Amino acid sequence: MNAPAAHFPPVARRLAPEQYFDGILRSDRRVLSRFITLLESSLVDDRRLAQHVLTSLLPHTGRSIRVGITGVPGAGKSTLIESLGRMLTGKGHRVAVLTIDPTSRISGGSILGDKTRMIDLSRDPNAFIRPSPSGQTLGGVARNTREVMLTCEAANFDIVLIETVGVGQSETMVADMVDFFLVVLIAGAGDELQGIKRGLMEMADLVAINKADGDNKVHAERACALYQNAMRLICPVDSPWTPPVLTCSAIEKTGIDKLWSQVLKHRARLEPTGWFQQQRRAQMVRWMWDLVNERIDGLLHRTPEIRVISTRVESEVRSGSMTAADGAETVLCAIGLGELVPQRTALNGFCEGPRMENSSRADETARNSS
């Protein structure tokens, strides 16, 4: 199958669409890496080319097991992923690991460098690790993570592991793009993290108490029992899946096989019901609306004319001469989405037409009523 022909401006660092397409289907790592870089580009021509190629790749996606892995900072997520990835490649799987790092304010790149903490896995010919800076995306999820995931599936990786930053909001976003959500915790993290743990556990399909080794093993087993009791209270009675709680040690590589057996058990139980297919379709729709909201946000902040209006509105709202609702309506009107622009908030005659039209209709309604 050949990718549809397309014409794009000749840029030295770009490949032709069919070269990306064929290279990805051949699992060519260099082409795969170059295409992901293209996906992450903010240039309009790059984005247009990337979306064209990605559309042609869609029939070759969707055949992997998607697992999100998160947890509180210091829980040992990267070490656990390396141990899990090595075990899976040893069983003949091809594993793609997408790590999402906080963005450096100075360089714009990743500041944790998770790939450097998965040295053995990065050398494995059946594994592919791609760290991506989170950029300005809310919660620390890279804006192109879903697209990179689909690309890796087209490149014949049958298991995709996505590691979050572990800052709170990112967990919700990653849980909305995977089939299975693994939460990694440690014993003795302290009561100050209970709020985060509660939110994580409500989304979890499996809770793993890591670092169950040495003197910490007893504490990990005690924490495991406590979390098991908590999961019984959190999980709905009629749920087809009750998230198990297990202990493991990423350093000693113990309990890793049990974690993966739960992923397969979860899949075997829910796949016959059609849950995965429905879930993925719903995720694609939510992804579409996420992109719509992102484009609108970009329009508000990057269009000079709208930025001028937004700045004036902000000033009036800050001074108390305009309500927040009036300000929001004026900004929405500036991009053509306003429903009813208050007469007192029109800026330099902007949206004067719609405001006068609404006023005329109101006057006509009043006359008819009288």
Q: What is the DSSP string of 298-340?
A: HHHHH-HHHHHHHHHHHHHHHHTSS-HHHHHHHHHHHTT--S-
Are 171 and 247 contained in the same domain? yes
Q: Is 204 exposed, middle or buried (0-12, 13-18, 19+ CB in 10 A)?
A: buried
How much is the pLDDT for 189?
63
Domain final residue pick, 58, 78, 109: 58
> How many domains would you assign to the chain?
3
Cβ(153)–Cβ(57) under 8 Å? no
Q: Is 42 contained in some domain?
A: yes
> What CATH number corresponds to the domain at position 68?
3.40.50.300
Are 83 and 44 contained in the same domain? no
Q: What is the C-alpha to C-alpha distance for residues 338 and 358, in angstroms, rounded to an integer?
A: 12
Are 169 and 314 contained in the same domain? no
77-86, 215-224, 287-296, 303-312: lowest mean pLDDT where? Answer: 287-296
Q: Is 281 contained in some domain?
A: no
Q: Is 127 contained in some domain?
A: yes
Residue 326 has pLDDT above 50, yes or no: yes
Are 117 and 262 contained in the same domain? yes
What percentage of the chain reaches a pLDDT higher than 90? 42
Are 105 and 174 contained in the same domain? yes
How much is the pLDDT for 12?
44
Cβ(298)–Cβ(143) under 8 Å? no
39-53, 59-73, 103-117, 177-191: lowest mean pLDDT where? Answer: 103-117
> What CATH number corresponds to the domain at position 39?
1.20.5
Domain final residue pick, 247, 271, 295: 271
**Hey, what are 30's tokens?**
């260099």
DSSP string, 78-102: HHHHHHHHHHHHHTT--EEEEEEEP
Q: Is 293 contained in some domain?
A: no
Q: Is 325 contained in some domain?
A: yes
- Segment 290-304 mean pLDDT: 79
Cβ(132)–Cβ(101) under 8 Å? yes
Cα angle 38, 41, 46; round to 5: 60
**Entry pTM:** 0.78
* Residues, the chain: 370
Are 125 and 202 contained in the same domain? yes
Are 253 and 339 contained in the same domain? no
Max avg pLDDT among 226-240, 291-305, 315-329: 315-329
**Banded model confidence at residue 370, pLDDT cuts 50, 70, 90:** very low
Q: Is 214 contained in some domain?
A: yes
The position carrying tokens 């003197």 is 215
Q: Give the count of beta carbons closer than 10 Å to the beta carbon of residue 134.
A: 22
User: Over the stretch 111-170, which tens digit does the pLDDT of each residue have?
Assistant: 445 556 788 899 999 999 998 765 544 434 556 888 999 999 999 999 999 988 665 555
Are 152 and 189 contained in the same domain? yes
- Segment 271-298 mean pLDDT: 85
Q: The domain containing residue 32 runs over which residues?
A: 17-58
User: Over the stretch 217-231, which tens digit does the pLDDT of each residue have?
Assistant: 999 999 899 888 888
Max avg pLDDT among 37-46, 83-92, 313-322: 83-92
**Hey, what are 80's tokens?**
């656990």
Q: What is the C-alpha to C-alpha distance for residues 145 and 281, in angstroms, rounded to an integer?
A: 17
Are 237 and 342 contained in the same domain? no
Are 50 and 71 contained in the same domain? no
Residue 349 has pLDDT above 50, yes or no: no
Q: Is 292 contained in some domain?
A: no
- Segment 335-346 mean pLDDT: 56
Q: Is 1 contained in some domain?
A: no
Are 134 and 168 contained in the same domain? yes
Are 131 and 241 contained in the same domain? yes
Long-range own/partner contacts, residues 24-30 (CB < 8 A, 24 or more apart): 24/53, 24/57, 24/151, 24/154, 24/155, 25/57, 25/60, 25/154, 25/155, 25/156, 27/94, 27/155, 27/156, 29/128
| Higher-scoring residue by pLDDT: 2, 201 | 201
